[in-house]
Each structure stands twice: as structure tokens, then as C-alpha cells.
Copies of this chain bind each other. A is one copy, B any other.
Amino acid sequence: MTGTLTVAGLGPGNETLITPEVTVAIAEATDIVGYIPYVARIPAREGLTLHPTDNRVELERATHALEMAASGRKVVVVSSGDPGVFAMASAVFEAMDRAPHLAHVETRILPGITAMLAAAARTGAPLGHDFCAINLSDNLKPWSVVEKRIRLAAQADFAMAFYNPRSVSRPHQFGQALDILRQECGRERLIIFARAVTTPQEKIKVTTLADARAEMADMRTVVLVGNSLTRCIGPYVYTPRRAE
């Protein structure tokens, strides 16, 4: 029996945003691997083993998934959002890189709706022109790299999406990021705090950099910052398709 490894995106939370491709992969799986709250979204059934694991063990989780697939299981690693955007797809290939005897495992990545695009859709079209996505966590990169990327992105006049803006273990850095943004973009630039988008806990706040406070973000928030032309129209925020 030939096993397979599928890395599947569950989208931002609402079940109506899971693609049929992912639904089929989950229905055919023998094993589901992932971070506890994402595995909790998969209904139990006979023949399916759930393997929930804690946060910050991505490489071990990926290696375990590859080993099970190598032994003949049909393994699905679940990510929230899109597995290719600050999620499990890279971790799986890193694990393969470190364990060449697992590199033969047939692996496929199934995309999903990533948080920034779900948040953008809920507020209008704030990422409607050139934009970038930056992970504000410094677990795997120096904070100086984050600061440099924010400055260059602002100088390029990209709209921006920030993932993992703030957590209990690093409460101060997001305030520094906001300071850099105020220096580079001015105080009137629009900023959106989108928490738990498409779930019952969804909370969206549109404000300006002048009024933005670090405490408006937590680990379930994605933060969007407009470019120099981003504007409000009624309840919507949008970035025009042109640039000057």
C-alpha cells in the first residue's frame, strides 16, 4: 500500500470556505495531523485517527506525518488558512530536506483561503493593488529583518498584511512596528484589525495609524495596512487599481 501526504488548508474558520478538494482529501484520510484547534475542526469517524499536537512543534509534526505516509497511511496535515502562507507546507519540505529517506513520499499541497484575503473580503478590497505579506513573529528570524522589510514595503507603497502581529511572549514588538509605519506612512494611513475572521468571534476595526494601539491585535488577528491611495467609502475600505 502506497501512502500519501496531503497538506490541506481549512480556510479562516467558516466551513463554507473549505474547498471541495480539501473536503474530499479529509474524507479519504486515515490520519489527520495538526495543531490542536485545527484538528478539532475535523469530525471523528471510524477508520480515522486524529493526531493533535501543540503549537511550535511544526518540524516534529511534519516528520511524524511523513513517516506515517511512508508506512502506507493516507495522511492529511491540516493548516488554517492556506498551508503555503506562514503555515505547514514549508515545514513539511524542511522536514523532507532534513530526512532524505522520506523525500520519496508522494506529497501534495491543497490551497485554502488565507486570513489576509478573507479579512480583505470582509472589509472591501484593501489589498486591491500591489501588496505584501509579512510574518511579524521573530521565532525564526531576527527582528531587524522584520523592521527592514516593513520600511522597504512602505517605501514601495505596498498595501501590507501582517500575520502573527502579537503574542503573549512578545507583547512589545508590534508597537515598534506601528512606530515604523507611522514614520514611513504618516498618521492618516488606514489600518484594519481583523480578528477571527468568518468565525462567531469575528471582530473588525478600521482606524488610522494615529489611533492604532498595539493592544488592538492579538494572536488571532491579521492586520492590514492600506497604501497611500487606500480610502473608505461608507463601511468599505478599498485600494484603487491605479498608482501614481
Using a CB–CB distance below 8 Å, which chain A residues touch chain B?
11, 14-21, 24, 58, 82-86, 89-94, 96-97, 103-104, 107-114, 117-118, 120-122, 124-135, 140-142, 145, 148-149, 152-153, 155-158, 231, 233-234, 236, 238-244
The main secondary structure of chain A at its interface with chain B is mixed
**Nearest 7 A/B pairs, CB to CB:** A90-B128, A141-B243, A93-B238, A89-B125, A132-B132, A152-B156, A140-B242
Copies in the complex: 2
In the bound complex, residues from chain B placing their C-beta under 8 Å from that of A89 are 121, 124-125, 128, 238
Given A85-B117, A125-B109, do A16 and B14 touch, yes or no (CB 8 Å)?
A: no
B131/A109 in contact, CB under 8 A: no
Q: Chain B nearest CB: distance from A53 CB in Å?
A: 17
B94/A127 in contact, CB under 8 A: no
B141/A148 in contact, CB under 8 A: no
In the bound complex, residues from chain B placing their C-beta under 8 Å from that of A121 are 82-84, 89, 108-111
A145/B233 in contact, CB under 8 A: no
Task: Please report the C-alpha to C-alpha distance between residue A118 and residue B82 in the assembled complex, in whole angstroms.
Answer: 10
A127/B84 in contact, CB under 8 A: yes
B17/A94 in contact, CB under 8 A: no
Task: Please report the C-alpha to C-alpha distance between residue A187 and residue B183 in the assembled complex, in whole angstroms.
Answer: 35
